[in-house]
Amino acid sequence: MINIPRGTQDILPKDTYKWQFIENKLHELMKLYNYKEIRTPIFESTELFSRGVGDSTDVVQKEMYTFKDKGDRSITLRPEGTAGVVRSFIENKMQGDPNQPVKLYYNGPMFRYERKQKGRYRQFVQFGVEAIGSENPAIDVEIISMLVHIYKSFGLKDLKLVINSIGDAESRAEYTKALQTHFEPVIDTFCNDCQNRLYTNPMRILDCKVDRDKEAVKNAPKITDYLNDYSKQYFEEVKTLLDELGIEYEIDTNLVRGLDYYTHTAFEVMSNAEGFGAITTLCGGGRYNGLLELLDGPKETGIGFALSIERLLLALEAEGIEIEQEESIDLFIATMGDQAEKYSISLINKLRHSGISCDKDYLGRKLKGQMKQADRLNAVHTIVLGDDELQKEQVEVKNMKTGENTTVSFKELEQYLKEKS
């Protein structure tokens, strides 16, 4: 037997309705905020991620599914959505679109070679949002408030919004120096990754899974003390606007995010729900002011976030929120005898073409078995076709909820069901 690859999952028909419910709701919510869907390829040139996400990040160093295609090009299955969306923005010259900022969203599979854990998969579905073309605290707040709105609209309550500013390039350069000075004397006691990070990306030491609880991490210099005036002012405005909207948040100066492109506003939403698992982050995002230029694009800036549907489902489960299954069919056609069976094939075809959802037996079940099947399919109506019905050209339509029977002629059946469904 060939098994499913580690870290992936089949979403079976008994569960797909939950995904469809979530995805439909997200599409609806995006209309409220005037964001339009974009679909980019699942694989991209490896360079897009090594440059965009950053060579020193765990994602690029350890987690990418990279391979050579038959034309000897290095290709990578996308580990995240932002780089591809920004590439598309640049390639399609979206800065020329009169509607600025360009507001985009996406929903699709991403791939990271990570250690499998509850809430962590090697293929997962990210729903993400990007607003590109405006450097204005109001758009940062639109994105954050949208995120909170999304989770609340699914009924989640046990949430914590954490924000930070990682400043602009100038602030970060100062801060990086301060971190190097701080960690250098004790770096020998840190993990190998952190020893490398000291020179490539010292901010990442702050959220290292291995060394996170070390004293030197807890009393490390804080980015907020190194923000220049512009960065400080920007962060203040974001906080003021969040306060005005009544959105509660915590500031965590160690929230640095795992990808290199972030500047200024960074945020995550965590689930506090018991039983959610060791990974508490539901989603993350932030502003990326240098990314477009880094990818040879115009001097535009963006902000966005991504959440995985898998973790959203886990949070719903942890808070005991169920998604109702509303699936049913309008009609189940049961048959008795060869003639009726034959007739049911053309009848079902005709009814489906007129928009009535229906099904029938294909296993030669006895009448009792067919009625059980109708129950399992949650049929609203059933009919039983036999010789008598064929002769009279009429049938009893049973409403499965009320148990009521109505005699309907073959000619009127289509119209009757349309009115009732």
Which CB sits closer to ligand HAM, 174 or 193?
Answer: 193
> Has 80 been labeled as part of a binding site?
yes
Shortest separation between residue 112's beta carbon and ligand HAM, angstroms:
5
The candidate with the shortest Cα–Cα distance to 238, out of 295, 167, 291, is 167
> Has 82 been labeled as part of a binding site?
yes
Shortest separation between residue 235's beta carbon and ligand HAM, angstroms:
17
The order of strands in the sheet holding 250-251 is 36-37, 102-111, 123-132, 302-308, 281-288, 263-271, 159-165, 250-251
> Has 236 been labeled as part of a binding site?
no
Which CB sits closer to ligand HAM, 202 or 304?
Answer: 304
Which CB sits closer to ligand HAM, 214 or 264?
Answer: 264
How far apart are alpha carbons 401 and 384 in whole angstroms?
16
| Cβ 236 vs Cβ 217: under 8 Å | no
Shortest separation between residue 156's beta carbon and ligand HAM, angstroms:
13
How far apart are alpha carbons 327 and 16 in whole angstroms?
11
How far apart are alpha carbons 258 and 268 in whole angstroms?
11
Q: Which residues contact 399 (CB under 8 A, 6 or more apart)?
A: 380, 381, 405, 406, 420
> Has 16 been labeled as part of a binding site?
no
Which CB sits closer to ligand HAM, 68 or 118?
Answer: 118
Closest CB to ligand HAM belongs to which residue?
Answer: 304
Which CB sits closer to ligand HAM, 54 or 335?
Answer: 54
- Beta strands 36-37 and 405-409: pairing type? unpaired
Shortest separation between residue 25's beta carbon and ligand HAM, angstroms:
17
Shortest separation between residue 170's beta carbon and ligand HAM, angstroms:
21
Which CB sits closer to ligand HAM, 112 or 182?
Answer: 112
Shortest separation between residue 7's beta carbon and ligand HAM, angstroms:
8
Q: What does the binding site for ligand HAM look like in residue numbers (CB under 6 A)?
A: 80-82, 112, 114, 119-121, 124, 126, 128, 130, 258-259, 281-286, 304-308, 310-311
- Calculate the alpha carbon distances from 65 to 44, 61, 280 in Å: 11, 11, 25
336-361 as b/e: b if 16+ CB within 10 A: beeebbebbeebbeebeeeebbbbbb
> Has 108 been labeled as part of a binding site?
no
Which CB sits closer to ligand HAM, 242 or 417?
Answer: 242
| Cβ 129 vs Cβ 35: under 8 Å | yes
Which CB sits closer to ligand HAM, 117 or 415?
Answer: 117
| Cα three-residue angle 81-85-88, rounded to 5 degrees | 145
The candidate with the shortest Cα–Cα distance to 329, out of 311, 355, 310, 307, is 355
How far apart are alpha carbons 162 and 271 in whole angstroms?
11
Shortest separation between residue 150's beta carbon and ligand HAM, angstroms:
12
Which CB sits closer to ligand HAM, 175 or 262?
Answer: 262
- In the chain, the amino acid numbered 404 is E
How far apart are alpha carbons 181 and 198 in whole angstroms?
10
Shortest separation between residue 2's beta carbon and ligand HAM, angstroms:
23
SS3 of 172-232: the string is HHHHHHHHHHHHHHHHHHCCHHHHHHHHHCHHHHHHCCCCCCCHHHHCCCCHHHCCCHHHH
Shortest separation between residue 268's beta carbon and ligand HAM, angstroms:
7
Which two tokens mark 327? Answer: 């699936």
Which CB sits closer to ligand HAM, 142 or 361?
Answer: 142
Shortest separation between residue 161's beta carbon and ligand HAM, angstroms:
13
158 burial (CB, 10 Å; 0-12 / 13-18 / 19+) is middle
Instruction: Kindly report whether the peptide bond that precedes residue 202 is cis, defined as omega within 30 degrees of 0.
Output: no
Residue ranges of the binding site for L-histidine = 80-82, 112, 126, 130, 257, 261-262
